[in-house]
Structure 1
């Protein structure tokens, strides 16, 4: 079986004028056109290729690397809009199609959108959808409180930024928890802060509990070294100033400073914190 919209490891079985024919373990064949054929190859050798449909809707293999795969979310640019829908640049010769019915609002050429790629059950074509909520579910969670997770930022709300968690679930980073730049389409790491009774996920961009101390302390220590051993920050500093300089909350800053102080790596004075010089 050859899975369209994904990478497949296939064996070279024939060298023909249009290109190499590759075969799966089940005997299915697909063409790798000449322009993607490696300079050196042997019959029987295995190649890892991406498989999708060409302009004539025929299965074809390529050595190009797409920006996303089937059953994944991605952030892609619209390169064309016509009477049947929109077309996205996903790194391959043939653009990824988004039917009008799969657009949350009519897409515009040149704009970027978060989309989900899937194989349409009716047309058996690879298509994308901007109606991403229907591909997310929090009914059965695969994460626990404190877990480190991958995030894809989707949109800004009155409460904060909505994010896709591990390409499966929906989460929210509250505005009060954000101390760095965020934008639609941005990929970043985060942590499960709270799982609510209705399975809604509250996300933090920093480790929770004791885990936050070590990386926070290291960040403060690093900036101290880069600043000549002094930072004009202390427990009475404006939270906005701490966020601007360090990208963290005042509460997190105080925890990190406490860790460094207990380790005798800093001195806390009225003008700020000083790195202890070691002989």
Structure 2
């Protein structure tokens, strides 16, 4: 049976002037309008489509990809507000996504970017959004391990730090002390699990711990140097925001990695920036084997 709010592989049954009809199982035949039909499609073919309801509440299919599907957390922009029903969010399809007033944790305005969960309304079987996130987070014990890399979605700033959804399932906390620069609600970043407490609370970090963090970052710096012709405009005086944007690391970790590379004579500081040292090129004062000097 076709799943509403998900991508489905559905079989072509027959065509009409308006499009082709797909086999939706218990949902019956579902129209795929002409403008979405892939070139060369024939009867009996299976098409990968997304199923949702149009403005007249009919099930329709599209080959377009929405920004998020049912069961996903996503950052979406408020494009309009109807005082009778709620706000509407841009989710990448012609029909905007409804965020009902009853599902708003806080009132929203046009232009706001909100973190929402996409779900099926049990009463209407329509796809809607909610910003009441906690009821949709997993209550199972987190399966994560310390130092494990994870994807994070920032949901709110708190006195202690930033709450973040971890791998689309659990909530965790990034402490202010572990962040080099401010984050934005709705921002997607990569991070690491620092600890999972017995009660299920998750501590997060934007950097791996210890030598693992430095070793991984040094490799990324060297790779970036090689890809940019041996020079980069970043050093230990660069703004934390620039370092985070380009290397997904804190300034502290970046400085440690630069120190390690400098001690290994892999880089030199050009002030501003750094440069890759070509170990094959001798410099004045460098040691050379006997018999090589003039």
TM norm structure 1: 0.84
Within 5 A, what are the aligned runs for 1:123-134? Answer: 123-134=124-135
2:198 is matched with 197
**Equivalent residues, number:** 268
Give the 3 Å change call, closer, same or farther, for CA 88–210 of structure 1 in structure 2.
Answer: same
Q: Provide Cα deviations, 1:22-74, integer angstroms capped at 9, x if missing partner.
A: 11577943111122222321111111011001112111101222111001011
Task: Give the deviation of 1:182 after TM superposition.
Answer: 2.3
Question: Residues 102-142 of structure 1: CA distance to partner in whole angstroms, max 9, x if unpaired?
Answer: 00122212221110010111111111101112111354213
The equivalences for 1:167-206 within 5 A come to 167-180=168-181, 182-206=183-207
**C-alpha spacing 1:122/1:154, structure 2 compared with 1 (3 Å):** same
For residues 70 and 155 of structure 1, what CA distance do their matches in structure 2 show?
22
Q: Which runs of 5+ in 1 are unaligned?
A: 234-239
Distance 1:18 1:273, change over 3 A: closer
CA distance change for structure 1 residues 259 and 143 in 2, over 3 Å: closer, same or farther? same
Q: Which residue of 1 aligns with 2:67?
A: 67
Change (3 A) 1:37 1:251: closer
SS in 1 for 2:218: helix
RMSD: 2.9
- 3-state secondary structure, aligned to 2:174: strand
User: Does the alignment pair 1:226 with 2:231?
Assistant: yes
Alignment partner, residue 37 of structure 1: 37
Instruction: Please say if residues 206 and 250 of structure 2, whose CA atoms lie closer than 8 Å, have aligned partners that are also in contact.
Output: no
Deviations 1:121-179 (A, max 9, x none): 11111111011121113542132222211111111111111111111100111111112
Provide the TM-score with structure 2 as the length reference.
0.80
Q: Structure 2: how far apart are the matches of 1:187 and 1:249? A: 16
Could you say if the C-alpha distance between residues 75 and 242 of structure 1 is closer, same or farther in structure 2, counting changes exceeding 3 Å? closer
Q: Once structures 1 and 2 are overlaid, which stretch shifts more, 106-115 or 130-139?
A: 130-139
Gaps of 5+ in 2: 281-294
Give the aligned partner of residue 292 of structure 2.
none
Please identify, of 181-190 and 69-78, the stretch whose mean Cα deviation from structure 2 is larger. 181-190
